[in-house]
Amino acid sequence: MKVIRPSRWLVACAGLATLVAVAAPVHALPILQMYIEGATYDQDTESWVTDQSSLTLWVIGDVGDAGPILDVQLTAAYLTGEIGSVDIIPTTASGYYDPSQSPTPVLNPTVGADGTLPIMSSGEPLPAHGIYGPGTSFHQWGLGDMTLTDSAIGDFSGSFPTTFPSSGQINAYDIRISGYSMVHFDTFNHVEAPSHVLFGPFSHDAASAVPEPTSWLLLGLGLGGLLLAGRRQRRRSS
């Protein structure tokens, strides 16, 4: 089983990359970004990091600059040996002007087997970037097209933006993770003109690492053993 750097799993992904021969225009902002409310940005991994199993994830599309972003996909990668679930519920961004309710995600049950990679609209696989491959499986949802320009868009890398030079669409989702110790999110697909495929840059990653229930159980048993030993010691000395 491959070794995965834990820091790469503690993030939610966002950004832009061209995977076809057509040259992509230069954008001041990534076309696709992701952000987790209340998360911490890790400068070493350039990723948003949280240890919460309940979180609100934003998928941010710079529609105002790039035009409609088509067939946006969201993936949640997890360790194959773990049994769990990721529930995703549409909401709106907290404390931020996000007037449109996010569309309902549509789960694709035919993808995500161990060792496989998400496939983008070009037919090319999403770069593994230290996450996908043997020992990793994933869930994938279709989020539909991003066509709105009703929210101000800034650069969410490093910190919450203070300037908002563009406008676009924010899809916010309340996510509940159960059973998995770590989940890594990616978002991707394409714009029409010029036609090119894109994904959230890996300098805009985001994810959740949650203590496994079995770990908590073992910790509880360990503490119980210490408490019991202490009680026996007190009885012997009394």
DSSP code per residue over 176-222: EEES-SEEEEEEEEEETTTTEEEE--GGGEEEEE---HHHHHHHHHH
**Strand boundaries in 13-165, DSSP class E:** 32-36, 40-42, 47-50, 54-61, 69-79, 85-91, 106-107, 136-146, 151-153
What average pLDDT does range 150-163 have in this prediction? 92
Q: Round to whole Å and give the CA distance between 86 and 177.
A: 5
pLDDT value of residue 198: 46
Q: Which of 96, 94, 75, 90 is nearest to 168 (CA)?
A: 96
Please check the confidence at residue 20 and state whether its pLDDT lies above 50: no
- The torsion angles phi and psi of 121, rounded to 5 degrees, stand at -65, -20
Q: For residue 227, count other CB atoms closer than 10 A to its CB.
A: 10
Determine contact, residues 173/18, Cβ cutoff 8 Å: no
What average pLDDT does range 158-187 have in this prediction? 93
- The torsion angles phi and psi of 137, rounded to 5 degrees, stand at -120, 175
Q: What separation in angstroms does the CA of 62 have from each of 35, 126, 188, 197?
A: 14, 20, 13, 14
pLDDT value of residue 121: 83
Please check the confidence at residue 23 and state whether its pLDDT lies above 90: no
Please check the confidence at residue 202 and state whether its pLDDT lies above 60: no
Q: What is the mean pLDDT of the chain?
A: 75
Determine contact, residues 70/121, Cβ cutoff 8 Å: yes
pLDDT value of residue 28: 72
Radius of gyration of the chain (CA): 20
Determine contact, residues 203/46, Cβ cutoff 8 Å: yes
What average pLDDT does range 148-171 have in this prediction? 94
- 73 has which bridge partners? 142, 188
- 170 has which bridge partners? 60
pTM: 0.75
pLDDT value of residue 47: 78
Look at residue 89 and give its three-state secondary structure: strand
Please check the confidence at residue 103 and state whether its pLDDT lies above 70: yes
**Range of weakest confidence among 31-40, 119-128, 173-182, 190-199:** 190-199
